[in-house]
Structure 1
């Protein structure tokens, strides 16, 4: 039987690689803490949408890592001249304390299991320089009938409230306040704000953006 990790990885090689992502980076807030010449790393960069926005905003040293081969191919197929490396076995291919700022934009939602989320956060901590900045956009639990129904339904299968499946095999997660605090606890908070985002499937969902420091 395939694990959840295998199932969600397969989704991002197939139907997930065709999705267009939508959560916005709070660029003005990021610029308050990260200089234009800083070494930026977009973790789980997908097809390069956020990397392109960062370059357009004046950041000059932007790299990305992405585990999905299909999404990396999409970067090339769409003619984006971006520096994107594979992220194999959850390892970020950069040296310790080599990055000024890292971004996770709607990435943790795509990683339903606690252990895999923890691994990504630890890897980011490892590659960030002392005092380095982490920026995160992600999704929180919702209380509308549609979401509550699917949280309840899939909790029986996956064991975690907030995990749900998409048509085509994708497994996503919306986070409780408690789990969000756990994920962010290895960093020192600079800014945290709850917002409402539009998801990649066009729905409105509770979310947050966070800026923290190593």
Structure 2
């Protein structure tokens, strides 16, 4: 499916860091999809939005698992173009602004894999979550994977250097030597962000995950959250 763009503007829309149009677009993404966890909460006939799909790694896995109504979207042109080269059969679309061109409640479930880790500003994170709250139907599911604050010396040093370079940034935002900009969260920050947009955490699973940088691992967390029922 050819890529398309949504031109509808929205204040505070998440910006694409230049890293994802260059070096980052060649990376191999690593957060694993827990098939058992997904199947526990999301039936095969569900309409699923892979928000921040990158090059379609998880979108392809969902299709292979038998999920037919899967749609991937991402703001990086380089990643979408890569995805369409590698998976021309998938529905992958470029978006450059919010809201996305889908009606309210269009999806039964959404994936949000390490999107909050690369959309680093508070206002931009709230814009993403507000859009997902619009798109996921009442009682629908959000499957989130992201990285909490790490306690090892290397990461703590990165956090402190990031805070010193820009005191206005949230704590946990840091840059990597190859030019990436990332954010790790206090676990309670993720829960509060979900709650603020009408999602209730139903299950939370910690795990160790390889990073985008060879040989490094982090403690990560996967969360199943359910949108409030209407009324």
TM-score (norm 2): 0.86
- Paired with 2:131 and 2:94, the residues of 1 have a C-alpha distance of 14
User: Residue 29 of structure 2 corresponds to which residue in structure 1?
Assistant: 21
- Paired with 2:204 and 2:154, the residues of 1 have a C-alpha distance of 27
For residues 22-58 of structure 1, the C-alpha deviation after alignment (integer angstroms, 9 at most, x for no partner) is: 1001111111111101101100000000011111112
Question: Secondary structure, in 3 states, of the residue corresponding to 2:102?
Answer: coil
For residues 40-91 of structure 1, the C-alpha deviation after alignment (integer angstroms, 9 at most, x for no partner) is: 1100000000011111112111111110011111012224411012222243
| Residue 174 (structure 2) pairs with residue 161 (structure 1) | no
User: Residue 213 of structure 2 corresponds to which residue in structure 1?
Assistant: 201
- Paired with 1:211 and 1:118, the residues of 2 have a C-alpha distance of 18
Conserved? CA contact 1:194–1:209, under 8 Å? yes
* Equivalences, count: 209
Which of 101, 106, 114 is equivalent to 1:106? 114
User: Residue 170 of structure 1 corresponds to which residue in structure 2?
Assistant: 180
User: Residue 160 of structure 2 corresponds to which residue in structure 1?
Assistant: 152
Cα displacement (A) at 1:198: 1.0
- Paired with 2:114 and 2:51, the residues of 1 have a C-alpha distance of 10
The answer for unaligned runs of 5 or more in structure 2 is 1-13
1:84-163 equivalences in 2 (<5 Å): 84-158=92-166, 159-163=169-173
Cα displacement (A) at 1:92: 2.4
- Paired with 1:43 and 1:174, the residues of 2 have a C-alpha distance of 19
Conserved? CA contact 2:191–2:201, under 8 Å? no
- Paired with 2:24 and 2:101, the residues of 1 have a C-alpha distance of 23
Going from structure 1 to structure 2, the CA distance change for 1:201 and 1:80 (only over 3 Å counts) comes to farther
Moved more, 137-146 or 158-167: 158-167
User: Residue 5 of structure 2 corresponds to which residue in structure 1?
Assistant: none
Question: Secondary structure, in 3 states, of the residue corresponding to 2:112?
Answer: strand
TM-score (norm 1): 0.93
Going from structure 1 to structure 2, the CA distance change for 1:205 and 1:90 (only over 3 Å counts) comes to farther
- Paired with 2:60 and 2:133, the residues of 1 have a C-alpha distance of 24
Return the structure number with greater helix share: 1
Cα displacement (A) at 1:207: 1.2
